[in-house]
Amino acid sequence: MSESALTDDHFCFACGENNPDGLRIAFEYPEPGRCRAAFTPERRFQGWQDILHGGIIATLLDEGLAHAYGGADRGGGEAAVTAELCVRFKKPVRIGRPIVLEGRVVSIEGRVIEGQSRILDQDGTELASATGKLIKIKKP
């Protein structure tokens, strides 16, 4: 595989349905450039007692950015990789409590995609958020 080629074998830690150890997030795409997923964190992804590990939170937010772009460009033959991710942790994400992950594309300039993602609790309170940049890479 060359450095400029990406292949999806459905084993992604965050969204791959073939990865038995992953998060297996299933996204919906309510409109182009937006994604949404419901998720309930399991204890195996815990950091401090009853709190989701910060690295998993960052992973969720990163995946929200990527899937927002994927929802904007369905069938376009392009994929993207994260170039920059700035995460803000606001409140603990509790183990065993349902959350919603949302992502949206803010802008696309050439190969650079800017996006935002956030994690909300059931009441709509924002628990964590991220801004980031993705770079388009052609699929083989």
Q: What one-letter code names the amino acid at 114? A: E
Q: Does 36 or 140 have the greater pLDDT score?
A: 36
Determine the number of helices (DSSP H) and then strands (DSSP E) in the chain: 1, 5
Nearest 5°: CA angle at 118, between 114 and 124?
Answer: 145
Q: Would you place residue 38 in the very low, low, confident or very high pLDDT band (cuts 50, 70, 90)?
A: very high
Spatial neighbors of 112 by CB under 8 A, at least 6 apart, are: 83, 133, 134, 135, 136
Q: What would the pLDDT profile of 57-66 be if each residue is shown by its tens digit?
A: 999 999 999 9
Residue 71 has pLDDT above 80, yes or no: no
Average pLDDT, the chain: 91
Residue 90 has pLDDT above 90, yes or no: yes
For the segment 115-140, the average pLDDT, to the nearest whole number, is 93
Contact 112, 135 (CB under 8 A): yes
The residue ranges of every structural domain in the chain are 34-138
Contact 64, 118 (CB under 8 A): yes
What is the CATH superfamily name and number for domain 34-138? Hotdog Thioesterase (3.10.129.10)
For the segment 102-130, the average pLDDT, to the nearest whole number, is 97
